[in-house]
Structure 1
Amino acid sequence: MTTLADALRAGLEAAADPEAAPVMRAYMKSDMPFRGVPQPVRARILREGVQAQPPPTRGTLAATADALWDGAQFREERYLATALAGYRDYARWPDADWLPRYRHWVVSGAWWDHVDEIASRLVGPVLRADPVQVTPVMRRWATDPDPWLRRTAILCQLQSKGDTDVDLLADAIEASLKDEGFFLRKGIGWALRQHARTDPLWVREFVDTHPELSPLSRKEALKHL
């Protein structure tokens, strides 16, 4: 019996573009090869797959996502794993118990395309749904030696708008202020710029009271102020 993971892999194989694949791989600087399947096509493959074989339980959803991520031979399989976890019909199924899974994906994915999707579209909704359990985890990630976990803690509230926990946001940013890594400095600026759409005065004050912000972070934070 074909599993949903197998069906999605077959869909990627059928839609593969050998000419686009090396271009996508070079752009993403990926050790893992690509099939050459763009996002709109991946979205169609996922939609058709879950319509044909909808996961009946949270456990099935988790097992399918794990199979796609851990068994991936092409990068698009991991894209489908994260897309499945955040798919509209199942978006409320993942909860705080999924955080070890997301941590594994962040650490093993270790690049901005995976991490940014996981942070804003997967970790963020779980945080908003269960701040009591998830906030302490984000605080631990914010001080973790792994820079991608720290970026996740910084970016996980990108879609929180008025529900943003500004204490968590400030603490996550302050934990990485001395880090010279591009992706952390860019992430800090992005998080502040996004929150400025909701609370520009808070962002302006934060920037003014943190002279140690890198020029990149400061420029991004103030871009629309």
Structure 2
Amino acid sequence: MDAVKSLVSAVRNGLAGLADPAKAPAMQAYMKSEMPYRGAQKPARAALLKRVIAEHPLPDRVSFSSAVLTLWREAEFREERYAAVDISGSRGYGRWQDSGLLDLYEEMIVTGAWWDYVDEVAIRRVGPILRAEPETVTPLMLTWAYDDDKWRRRTSVICQVGSKAGTDTDLLTRAIEANIDDKDFFLRKGIGWALREYAKTEPDWVRAFVAAHAALSNLSRREALKHLGG
């Protein structure tokens, strides 16, 4: 686990070096975060992570998962969790992106419980695994669509954003219908977002879907038809 300790230490020290205490309070306030920020800006963080990942490679799947979870669970500043999310999606570790990581991503979704974490994990981690292993992931997303946790439910709705022609419209329909009456802003916004993105590929399908679902909230409907003249 020396590789894990080395990478985690390099991330923490690097973020400390990028800290800007003058910017941190505004960043925390904008994200409505209980966890404090260091004030490290995104471009600088991205450059840091690129260098650290190259200099501290993780040799196997176990060390990869351990590094991500260590940064995530032990985070004292929000940027450390951003680093965990970024490392989880590093191209160099793409060979481990399969359904075996769903428990890790579920933990990040449920304990992160805010859009800045959840949307990245849902769309760029869970989504590709869904497309690669639909037989395994589709039933899970259908279960999540009815879960008590709204962030699992939002994940089930938005996980296909960017799937384009590969979108499973049955899954999309069922995930939306499971949440169509929920008044939560993030669910309503997520429904509209998912439909708006799919409208770039199949506008007629989205128009028909909206027309057939009178229960859609005004927010969801407006977002879905945003670029369709609706």
Q: Is the TM value for this pair above 0.5?
A: yes
- 2:64 is aligned with 1:55: no
- 2:117 is aligned with 1:95: no
Q: Identity over aligned residues, as a percent?
A: 54
Q: What SS does the aligned partner of 1:158 have? A: coil
Hey, what does 1:37 align to over in structure 2? 40
What TM-score, normalized to structure 2?
A: 0.96
Gaps of 5+ in 1: none
Contact 1:24–1:36 (Cα < 8 Å) also in 2: yes
Hey, what does 1:82 align to over in structure 2? 85
Q: CA deviation at 1:92?
A: 3.5
Contact 1:58–1:94 (Cα < 8 Å) also in 2: no
Q: What is the one-letter code of the residue matched to 2:9?
A: D
2:152 alignment partner, one of 149, 152, 163:
149
Hey, what does 2:28 align to over in structure 1? 25
- 2:188 is aligned with 1:221: no
The separation in 1 between residues aligned to 2:95 and 2:60, in whole angstroms, is: 12
1:84-117 Cα offsets, whole Å, 9 max, x none, are: 1111222341211111111111111111111111
1:195 alignment partner, one of 192, 198, 211:
198
Contact 1:115–1:148 (Cα < 8 Å) also in 2: yes
Hey, what does 1:211 align to over in structure 2? 214
What TM-score, normalized to structure 1?
A: 0.98
- 2:184 is aligned with 1:181: yes
Q: CA deviation at 1:151?
A: 0.4
Gaps of 5+ in 2: none
Hey, what does 2:18 align to over in structure 1? 15
Contact 1:107–1:149 (Cα < 8 Å) also in 2: yes
The separation in 2 between residues aligned to 1:86 and 1:26, in whole angstroms, is: 27
1:168-189 Cα offsets, whole Å, 9 max, x none, are: 0111111000100001000000
1:196-218 Cα offsets, whole Å, 9 max, x none, are: 00111110110000000000000
1:35-75 Cα offsets, whole Å, 9 max, x none, are: 11121111111111111111111111111000010010000
Hey, what does 2:113 align to over in structure 1? 110
